[in-house]
Structure 1
Amino acid sequence: MAEKPVWSIRNDGFVIDLAAPGVASVCFVEMGAALAGTRRFEGRGISIAQHCVMGAQAILNEGGTQLEAALFLLHDGHEWLLGDWTQPQQQLLGSLLPSLAVKAAIGQMKAGWDAAIYAAANLPLPEFWTTRQKNLVKSMDERMCRAEAITHFGPQAASQFSDNHPPKTTGTICIWGTARAEEKFAEYCHTFIGPEIIARQAALSVKTRRGATR
Protein backbone atom coordinates (compact mmCIF):
# COMPACT_ATOMS: atom_id res chain seq x y z
CA MET A 1 0.00 0.00 0.00
CA ALA A 2 3.02 2.30 0.29
CA GLU A 3 6.32 2.79 -1.51
CA LYS A 4 8.29 1.97 1.63
CA PRO A 5 7.55 -0.32 4.60
CA VAL A 6 5.68 1.21 7.52
CA TRP A 7 7.07 -0.61 10.53
CA SER A 8 5.04 -1.16 13.68
CA ILE A 9 6.76 -2.59 16.76
CA ARG A 10 4.85 -5.49 18.32
CA ASN A 11 4.84 -6.69 21.92
CA ASP A 12 7.69 -9.14 21.35
CA GLY A 13 9.96 -6.38 20.05
CA PHE A 14 9.80 -7.50 16.43
CA VAL A 15 8.09 -5.50 13.69
CA ILE A 16 5.32 -5.83 11.14
CA ASP A 17 4.90 -3.80 7.95
CA LEU A 18 1.51 -2.09 8.15
CA ALA A 19 1.72 -1.31 4.44
CA ALA A 20 1.94 -4.98 3.47
CA PRO A 21 -1.16 -6.83 4.73
CA GLY A 22 -0.77 -10.58 4.53
CA VAL A 23 -2.26 -13.76 5.92
CA ALA A 24 1.09 -14.71 7.44
CA SER A 25 1.00 -11.66 9.70
CA VAL A 26 -2.42 -12.31 11.22
CA CYS A 27 -2.56 -13.56 14.82
CA PHE A 28 -5.99 -13.90 16.41
CA VAL A 29 -4.52 -14.29 19.90
CA GLU A 30 -2.76 -10.92 19.69
CA MET A 31 -5.82 -9.44 18.02
CA GLY A 32 -8.02 -10.36 20.96
CA ALA A 33 -5.56 -8.92 23.47
CA ALA A 34 -5.25 -5.64 21.56
CA LEU A 35 -8.98 -5.20 20.94
CA ALA A 36 -9.79 -6.03 24.57
CA GLY A 37 -7.48 -3.25 25.69
CA THR A 38 -8.86 -0.62 23.30
CA ARG A 39 -12.08 1.14 24.30
CA ARG A 40 -14.55 2.71 21.93
CA PHE A 41 -15.80 6.32 21.95
CA GLU A 42 -12.28 7.72 22.33
CA GLY A 43 -11.59 5.45 25.31
CA ARG A 44 -14.87 6.01 27.16
CA GLY A 45 -16.91 3.01 26.05
CA ILE A 46 -16.77 -0.76 26.02
CA SER A 47 -13.77 -2.39 24.41
CA ILE A 48 -13.68 -3.18 20.71
CA ALA A 49 -13.47 -6.87 21.60
CA GLN A 50 -16.65 -6.64 23.69
CA HIS A 51 -18.41 -4.75 20.91
CA CYS A 52 -17.51 -7.50 18.44
CA VAL A 53 -18.55 -10.32 20.77
CA MET A 54 -21.85 -8.77 21.85
CA GLY A 55 -22.75 -7.92 18.26
CA ALA A 56 -22.00 -11.50 17.19
CA GLN A 57 -24.13 -12.78 20.08
CA ALA A 58 -26.98 -10.50 19.01
CA ILE A 59 -26.84 -11.80 15.44
CA LEU A 60 -27.23 -15.35 16.73
CA ASN A 61 -29.98 -14.32 19.17
CA GLU A 62 -31.90 -12.73 16.29
CA GLY A 63 -31.75 -15.87 14.16
CA GLY A 64 -28.59 -15.20 12.16
CA THR A 65 -26.18 -17.93 11.16
CA GLN A 66 -22.85 -18.75 12.75
CA LEU A 67 -21.13 -17.55 9.57
CA GLU A 68 -22.85 -14.17 9.83
CA ALA A 69 -21.86 -13.91 13.48
CA ALA A 70 -18.27 -14.81 12.56
CA LEU A 71 -18.16 -12.07 9.93
CA PHE A 72 -19.25 -9.55 12.55
CA LEU A 73 -16.81 -10.82 15.15
CA LEU A 74 -13.88 -9.89 12.89
CA HIS A 75 -15.30 -6.75 11.26
CA ASP A 76 -13.11 -4.49 13.43
CA GLY A 77 -10.15 -6.86 13.44
CA HIS A 78 -8.00 -4.40 11.49
CA GLU A 79 -8.07 -2.09 14.52
CA TRP A 80 -5.72 -4.56 16.22
CA LEU A 81 -2.99 -2.98 14.07
CA LEU A 82 -4.42 0.30 12.79
CA GLY A 83 -6.17 1.52 15.92
CA ASP A 84 -9.72 2.82 16.26
CA TRP A 85 -10.39 5.54 13.70
CA THR A 86 -13.58 6.97 15.19
CA GLN A 87 -16.10 8.85 13.08
CA PRO A 88 -15.36 12.19 14.80
CA GLN A 89 -11.65 11.74 14.11
CA GLN A 90 -12.33 10.97 10.46
CA GLN A 91 -14.63 13.98 10.15
CA LEU A 92 -11.97 16.23 11.70
CA LEU A 93 -9.35 14.94 9.29
CA GLY A 94 -11.78 15.52 6.45
CA SER A 95 -12.18 19.14 7.50
CA LEU A 96 -8.42 19.66 7.49
CA LEU A 97 -7.57 17.69 4.36
CA PRO A 98 -9.42 16.83 1.15
CA SER A 99 -12.20 14.68 2.60
CA LEU A 100 -12.40 12.23 -0.28
CA ALA A 101 -8.67 11.56 -0.05
CA VAL A 102 -8.90 10.92 3.70
CA LYS A 103 -11.86 8.60 3.31
CA ALA A 104 -10.19 6.69 0.47
CA ALA A 105 -6.90 6.30 2.36
CA ILE A 106 -8.55 5.02 5.53
CA GLY A 107 -10.76 2.70 3.50
CA GLN A 108 -7.73 1.30 1.66
CA MET A 109 -5.86 0.59 4.90
CA LYS A 110 -8.84 -1.16 6.46
CA ALA A 111 -9.71 -3.14 3.33
CA GLY A 112 -6.16 -4.45 2.95
CA TRP A 113 -6.03 -5.84 6.46
CA ASP A 114 -9.66 -7.01 6.39
CA ALA A 115 -8.85 -9.18 3.37
CA ALA A 116 -5.84 -10.70 5.13
CA ILE A 117 -7.77 -11.31 8.36
CA TYR A 118 -10.78 -13.00 6.78
CA ALA A 119 -8.53 -15.09 4.53
CA ALA A 120 -6.52 -16.20 7.56
CA ALA A 121 -9.75 -17.20 9.28
CA ASN A 122 -10.85 -19.15 6.20
CA LEU A 123 -13.94 -16.94 5.92
CA PRO A 124 -15.33 -15.12 2.86
CA LEU A 125 -13.50 -11.91 2.03
CA PRO A 126 -15.68 -8.77 2.33
CA GLU A 127 -15.65 -8.26 -1.43
CA PHE A 128 -17.43 -11.61 -1.81
CA TRP A 129 -20.04 -11.12 0.91
CA THR A 130 -23.65 -11.38 -0.12
CA THR A 131 -25.85 -8.31 0.06
CA ARG A 132 -27.50 -9.75 3.18
CA GLN A 133 -24.14 -10.29 4.87
CA LYS A 134 -22.95 -6.76 4.08
CA ASN A 135 -26.19 -5.20 5.27
CA LEU A 136 -26.33 -7.34 8.39
CA VAL A 137 -22.79 -6.50 9.53
CA LYS A 138 -23.28 -2.79 8.82
CA SER A 139 -26.69 -2.68 10.48
CA MET A 140 -25.53 -4.52 13.61
CA ASP A 141 -22.51 -2.23 13.87
CA GLU A 142 -24.78 0.84 13.76
CA ARG A 143 -27.32 -0.65 16.18
CA MET A 144 -24.61 -1.64 18.64
CA CYS A 145 -23.03 1.80 18.39
CA ARG A 146 -26.32 3.54 19.18
CA ALA A 147 -27.12 1.17 22.05
CA GLU A 148 -23.64 1.61 23.51
CA ALA A 149 -23.87 5.41 23.32
CA ILE A 150 -27.23 5.46 25.08
CA THR A 151 -25.92 3.11 27.79
CA HIS A 152 -22.76 5.13 28.40
CA PHE A 153 -23.97 8.70 27.89
CA GLY A 154 -27.72 8.67 28.42
CA PRO A 155 -30.82 8.83 26.19
CA GLN A 156 -29.86 12.21 24.74
CA ALA A 157 -27.05 10.46 22.87
CA ALA A 158 -29.65 8.72 20.69
CA SER A 159 -30.12 11.95 18.75
CA GLN A 160 -26.67 11.49 17.22
CA PHE A 161 -27.68 8.27 15.47
CA SER A 162 -30.27 7.05 13.00
CA ASP A 163 -33.31 5.58 14.74
CA ASN A 164 -33.08 1.79 14.92
CA HIS A 165 -34.21 -0.98 17.24
CA PRO A 166 -31.83 -2.15 19.98
CA PRO A 167 -29.83 -5.30 19.27
CA LYS A 168 -30.89 -8.45 21.12
CA THR A 169 -27.71 -8.71 23.16
CA THR A 170 -26.94 -11.45 25.65
CA GLY A 171 -27.23 -9.42 28.83
CA THR A 172 -27.06 -5.67 29.25
CA ILE A 173 -24.28 -3.55 27.79
CA CYS A 174 -21.96 -2.93 30.72
CA ILE A 175 -18.21 -2.53 30.53
CA TRP A 176 -16.33 -5.80 30.84
CA GLY A 177 -12.86 -5.92 32.28
CA THR A 178 -10.00 -6.36 29.84
CA ALA A 179 -9.42 -9.99 30.84
CA ARG A 180 -13.06 -10.94 30.34
CA ALA A 181 -13.25 -9.19 26.96
CA GLU A 182 -10.11 -10.96 25.77
CA GLU A 183 -11.39 -14.32 27.05
CA LYS A 184 -14.79 -13.99 25.36
CA PHE A 185 -13.21 -12.88 22.07
CA ALA A 186 -10.91 -15.91 22.20
CA GLU A 187 -13.85 -18.18 23.00
CA TYR A 188 -15.81 -16.97 19.98
CA CYS A 189 -12.74 -17.21 17.75
CA HIS A 190 -12.31 -20.83 18.78
CA THR A 191 -15.99 -21.48 18.06
CA PHE A 192 -16.20 -19.67 14.72
CA ILE A 193 -12.67 -20.10 13.35
CA GLY A 194 -11.36 -23.20 15.06
CA PRO A 195 -8.41 -23.87 17.40
CA GLU A 196 -6.29 -25.35 14.61
CA ILE A 197 -6.40 -22.18 12.53
CA ILE A 198 -5.78 -20.00 15.58
CA ALA A 199 -2.72 -22.03 16.58
CA ARG A 200 -1.42 -22.07 13.01
CA GLN A 201 -1.72 -18.31 12.67
CA ALA A 202 -0.06 -17.67 16.02
CA ALA A 203 2.99 -19.68 14.99
CA LEU A 204 3.06 -18.27 11.46
CA SER A 205 2.83 -14.66 12.59
CA VAL A 206 5.76 -15.07 14.99
CA LYS A 207 7.87 -16.62 12.24
CA THR A 208 6.92 -13.82 9.83
CA ARG A 209 7.78 -11.04 12.28
CA ARG A 210 11.11 -12.56 13.18
CA GLY A 211 11.98 -12.76 9.51
CA ALA A 212 11.19 -9.09 8.91
CA THR A 213 14.00 -6.54 8.77
CA ARG A 214 13.85 -2.80 9.24
Structure 2
Amino acid sequence: MTAWCQTVTGRALDFATPVVEPEHLYSEIAHALAQINRYAGQTATPFSVAQHSVLMAEDCEDETGDPTLAAWCLLHDAHEAYLGDTPTPAKAAIEAEFASVAAEARVPDMIVEAQIARWRTLRRRIEERLDRAIHRAAGLPPIDDRGRAIVKLFDVRALKTERRDLMLPPPRRWVESVEQAKTLKLRRRRIKPWAPGTSAERFILTLDRLCPSPAARPGRVREGDAA
Protein backbone atom coordinates (compact mmCIF):
# COMPACT_ATOMS: atom_id res chain seq x y z
CA MET A 1 0.00 0.00 0.00
CA THR A 2 1.38 3.41 -0.92
CA ALA A 3 0.81 6.83 0.65
CA TRP A 4 -1.86 8.95 -0.99
CA CYS A 5 -3.90 12.07 -0.35
CA GLN A 6 -7.44 13.06 -1.26
CA THR A 7 -7.56 16.20 -3.37
CA VAL A 8 -10.16 18.96 -3.42
CA THR A 9 -11.60 17.42 -6.60
CA GLY A 10 -12.25 14.16 -4.73
CA ARG A 11 -9.62 12.00 -6.38
CA ALA A 12 -6.73 10.08 -4.82
CA LEU A 13 -3.22 11.26 -5.61
CA ASP A 14 -0.69 8.45 -5.15
CA PHE A 15 2.70 9.83 -4.09
CA ALA A 16 4.56 6.87 -5.60
CA THR A 17 3.01 7.39 -9.06
CA PRO A 18 1.39 10.84 -9.03
CA VAL A 19 -0.98 11.72 -11.85
CA VAL A 20 -1.48 15.41 -12.59
CA GLU A 21 -3.60 16.36 -15.59
CA PRO A 22 -3.70 19.86 -17.13
CA GLU A 23 -7.06 20.62 -15.48
CA HIS A 24 -5.54 19.87 -12.05
CA LEU A 25 -3.20 22.84 -12.45
CA TYR A 26 -6.32 24.98 -12.07
CA SER A 27 -8.73 22.97 -9.93
CA GLU A 28 -6.21 21.61 -7.41
CA ILE A 29 -2.86 23.43 -7.56
CA ALA A 30 -3.95 27.05 -8.01
CA HIS A 31 -6.72 26.46 -5.46
CA ALA A 32 -4.42 24.96 -2.81
CA LEU A 33 -1.45 27.31 -3.25
CA ALA A 34 -3.76 30.31 -2.88
CA GLN A 35 -4.76 29.04 0.58
CA ILE A 36 -1.34 27.98 1.88
CA ASN A 37 0.41 30.72 3.86
CA ARG A 38 4.14 31.30 3.65
CA TYR A 39 6.27 31.46 6.82
CA ALA A 40 3.81 29.31 8.79
CA GLY A 41 1.49 32.32 8.81
CA GLN A 42 4.01 34.46 10.72
CA THR A 43 3.32 37.62 8.71
CA ALA A 44 0.99 40.44 9.71
CA THR A 45 -1.28 39.66 6.75
CA PRO A 46 -1.59 36.16 5.24
CA PHE A 47 0.69 35.79 2.22
CA SER A 48 0.11 32.82 -0.06
CA VAL A 49 2.45 30.47 -1.88
CA ALA A 50 0.49 31.32 -5.04
CA GLN A 51 1.32 35.04 -4.79
CA HIS A 52 4.96 34.27 -3.97
CA SER A 53 5.13 32.13 -7.11
CA VAL A 54 3.49 34.75 -9.35
CA LEU A 55 5.84 37.52 -8.16
CA MET A 56 8.86 35.29 -8.78
CA ALA A 57 7.63 34.37 -12.26
CA GLU A 58 6.95 38.00 -13.20
CA ASP A 59 10.40 39.11 -12.11
CA CYS A 60 12.08 36.23 -13.95
CA GLU A 61 10.04 36.95 -17.07
CA ASP A 62 10.93 40.66 -16.98
CA GLU A 63 14.64 40.03 -16.42
CA THR A 64 15.26 37.03 -18.71
CA GLY A 65 12.46 37.28 -21.29
CA ASP A 66 12.32 33.47 -21.18
CA PRO A 67 8.78 32.09 -20.61
CA THR A 68 10.06 28.60 -19.77
CA LEU A 69 12.31 29.89 -16.99
CA ALA A 70 9.46 32.04 -15.73
CA ALA A 71 7.07 29.05 -15.82
CA TRP A 72 9.51 26.95 -13.79
CA CYS A 73 9.55 29.80 -11.25
CA LEU A 74 5.76 29.89 -11.20
CA LEU A 75 5.54 26.13 -10.55
CA HIS A 76 8.61 25.68 -8.33
CA ASP A 77 6.46 25.20 -5.21
CA ALA A 78 3.49 23.57 -6.95
CA HIS A 79 4.19 20.25 -5.20
CA GLU A 80 3.22 22.02 -1.96
CA ALA A 81 -0.38 21.82 -3.16
CA TYR A 82 -0.16 18.16 -2.13
CA LEU A 83 2.62 18.19 0.49
CA GLY A 84 2.00 21.50 2.25
CA ASP A 85 4.66 24.11 2.99
CA THR A 86 7.18 23.16 5.67
CA PRO A 87 9.29 26.27 6.36
CA THR A 88 13.05 25.84 6.05
CA PRO A 89 13.62 26.61 9.78
CA ALA A 90 11.19 23.81 10.68
CA LYS A 91 13.14 21.35 8.52
CA ALA A 92 16.35 22.51 10.20
CA ALA A 93 14.78 22.06 13.64
CA ILE A 94 13.79 18.46 12.81
CA GLU A 95 17.33 17.70 11.65
CA ALA A 96 18.83 19.33 14.76
CA GLU A 97 16.51 17.33 17.01
CA PHE A 98 17.47 14.11 15.25
CA ALA A 99 21.16 14.95 15.70
CA SER A 100 20.59 15.74 19.40
CA VAL A 101 18.79 12.43 20.05
CA ALA A 102 21.49 10.55 18.14
CA ALA A 103 24.22 12.27 20.16
CA GLU A 104 22.54 11.19 23.41
CA ALA A 105 22.58 7.64 22.07
CA ARG A 106 26.27 8.09 21.14
CA VAL A 107 25.65 7.47 17.47
CA PRO A 108 28.80 8.45 15.51
CA ASP A 109 28.58 11.81 13.75
CA MET A 110 29.33 10.19 10.39
CA ILE A 111 26.23 7.99 10.68
CA VAL A 112 24.06 10.91 11.83
CA GLU A 113 25.17 13.03 8.89
CA ALA A 114 24.51 10.17 6.49
CA GLN A 115 21.00 9.63 7.90
CA ILE A 116 20.15 13.34 7.63
CA ALA A 117 21.44 13.40 4.04
CA ARG A 118 19.33 10.33 3.28
CA TRP A 119 16.22 11.98 4.75
CA ARG A 120 16.79 15.08 2.61
CA THR A 121 17.23 12.91 -0.48
CA LEU A 122 14.02 10.97 0.15
CA ARG A 123 12.02 14.15 0.72
CA ARG A 124 13.41 15.67 -2.44
CA ARG A 125 12.63 12.52 -4.45
CA ILE A 126 8.95 12.86 -3.57
CA GLU A 127 8.99 16.56 -4.50
CA GLU A 128 10.77 15.91 -7.80
CA ARG A 129 8.34 13.12 -8.72
CA LEU A 130 5.48 15.57 -8.27
CA ASP A 131 7.39 18.30 -10.11
CA ARG A 132 7.84 16.06 -13.16
CA ALA A 133 4.13 15.27 -13.28
CA ILE A 134 3.24 18.95 -12.87
CA HIS A 135 5.67 20.09 -15.57
CA ARG A 136 4.26 17.51 -17.99
CA ALA A 137 0.74 18.74 -17.28
CA ALA A 138 1.88 22.31 -17.99
CA GLY A 139 3.55 21.31 -21.27
CA LEU A 140 7.01 22.15 -19.94
CA PRO A 141 10.26 20.26 -20.50
CA PRO A 142 11.93 18.68 -17.46
CA ILE A 143 13.81 21.33 -15.52
CA ASP A 144 17.58 21.38 -16.10
CA ASP A 145 20.51 22.58 -13.99
CA ARG A 146 20.31 26.11 -15.41
CA GLY A 147 16.60 26.22 -14.62
CA ARG A 148 17.22 25.06 -11.05
CA ALA A 149 19.87 27.75 -10.58
CA ILE A 150 17.56 30.47 -11.92
CA VAL A 151 14.68 29.32 -9.72
CA LYS A 152 16.92 29.33 -6.65
CA LEU A 153 18.21 32.82 -7.51
CA PHE A 154 14.72 34.31 -7.77
CA ASP A 155 13.46 32.35 -4.77
CA VAL A 156 16.17 33.89 -2.56
CA ARG A 157 15.39 37.34 -3.96
CA ALA A 158 11.74 36.73 -3.12
CA LEU A 159 12.68 35.81 0.46
CA LYS A 160 14.61 39.08 0.82
CA THR A 161 11.71 41.09 -0.63
CA GLU A 162 9.05 39.36 1.46
CA ARG A 163 11.05 39.97 4.63
CA ARG A 164 11.29 43.67 3.74
CA ASP A 165 7.60 44.13 2.91
CA LEU A 166 5.79 41.68 5.19
CA MET A 167 7.80 41.39 8.42
CA LEU A 168 9.20 43.48 11.23
CA PRO A 169 12.98 44.04 11.29
CA PRO A 170 14.61 40.65 11.94
CA PRO A 171 15.87 39.97 15.49
CA ARG A 172 18.79 37.96 14.05
CA ARG A 173 20.55 37.72 10.73
CA TRP A 174 19.10 35.27 8.24
CA VAL A 175 21.35 32.97 6.23
CA GLU A 176 23.99 34.84 4.24
CA SER A 177 22.47 33.92 0.88
CA VAL A 178 19.38 35.94 1.86
CA GLU A 179 21.30 38.77 3.53
CA GLN A 180 23.44 39.26 0.40
CA ALA A 181 20.61 38.85 -2.13
CA LYS A 182 19.03 41.54 -4.25
CA THR A 183 15.31 42.16 -3.90
CA LEU A 184 12.74 41.54 -6.62
CA LYS A 185 12.09 44.58 -8.82
CA LEU A 186 8.33 43.98 -8.61
CA ARG A 187 5.88 45.37 -11.15
CA ARG A 188 3.87 46.88 -8.28
CA ARG A 189 6.87 48.25 -6.30
CA ARG A 190 6.00 46.68 -2.94
CA ILE A 191 4.18 43.51 -1.95
CA LYS A 192 0.56 43.88 -0.92
CA PRO A 193 -0.91 40.47 -0.02
CA TRP A 194 -3.82 39.27 -2.13
CA ALA A 195 -6.95 37.52 -0.90
CA PRO A 196 -7.08 33.78 -1.72
CA GLY A 197 -9.46 34.23 -4.65
CA THR A 198 -7.26 36.90 -6.18
CA SER A 199 -4.15 34.77 -5.62
CA ALA A 200 -5.73 31.83 -7.43
CA GLU A 201 -6.89 33.98 -10.33
CA ARG A 202 -3.52 35.73 -10.74
CA PHE A 203 -1.76 32.37 -10.61
CA ILE A 204 -4.05 31.06 -13.35
CA LEU A 205 -3.63 34.15 -15.53
CA THR A 206 0.16 33.84 -15.26
CA LEU A 207 -0.01 30.12 -16.00
CA ASP A 208 -2.14 30.78 -19.08
CA ARG A 209 0.39 33.31 -20.38
CA LEU A 210 3.49 31.21 -19.74
CA CYS A 211 2.07 27.76 -20.47
CA PRO A 212 -0.51 28.09 -23.26
CA SER A 213 -0.91 24.36 -23.90
CA PRO A 214 -3.12 23.62 -20.85
CA ALA A 215 -4.91 26.99 -21.01
CA ALA A 216 -7.95 25.72 -22.92
CA ARG A 217 -8.53 22.76 -20.63
CA PRO A 218 -11.39 22.60 -18.08
CA GLY A 219 -11.03 23.33 -14.40
CA ARG A 220 -10.26 27.05 -14.54
CA VAL A 221 -11.78 29.54 -12.13
CA ARG A 222 -14.89 31.21 -13.52
CA GLU A 223 -15.04 34.93 -14.17
CA GLY A 224 -15.87 36.72 -10.94
CA ASP A 225 -14.56 33.96 -8.66
CA ALA A 226 -11.56 36.01 -7.56
CA ALA A 227 -11.97 38.09 -4.44
* 1:81-120 per-position Cα deviation (integer Å, ceiling 9, x unaligned): 1111211121122123432122112111111101111111
| Deviation for aligned residue 1:174 | 1.8
1:182 maps to what in 2? Answer: 200
Cα distance, 1:61 vs structure 2:
2.5
What is the TM-score normalised by the length of structure 2?
0.78
Contact 1:53 1:184 in 2 (8 A): yes
> What letter is aligned with 1:40?
R
For residues 21 and 55 of structure 2, what CA distance do their matches in structure 1 show?
28
Q: Percent identity?
A: 27
Question: What's the counterpart of residue 109 of structure 2?
Answer: none
Partner of 1:164: 181
Larger proportion of helix = 1
Q: Distance in 2 between matches of 1:47 and 1:155?
A: 21
- Cα offsets for 1:132-176 (capped at 9, x unmatched): x22211100011012112222234368204211111111111211
Which residue identity is paired with 2:68? L
- Unmatched 5+ residue regions in structure 2? 99-114, 221-227
Aligned to 1:11: 8
- Cα gap change, 1:14/1:61 in structure 2, threshold over 3 Å: closer, same or farther? closer
Amino acid at match of 2:148: K
Query: How many positions carry a matched residue from both structures?
Result: 196
Distance, in Å, in 1 between the alignment partners of 2:131 and 2:2 is 19
Q: 1:40-79 counterparts in 2 under 5 A?
A: 40-45=38-43, 46-79=47-80
Q: What is the Cα deviation at residue 16 of structure 1?
A: 1.9
User: Which of 1 and 2 has greater Rg?
Assistant: 2
Aligned with 1:33 (options 23, 31, 56): 31
Could you tell me whether the CA contact under 8 Å between 2:22 and 2:138 is conserved in 1? Answer: no
Given the two structures, how large is their TM-score scaled by the length of structure 1? 0.82
| Unmatched 5+ stretches in structure 1 | 204-214
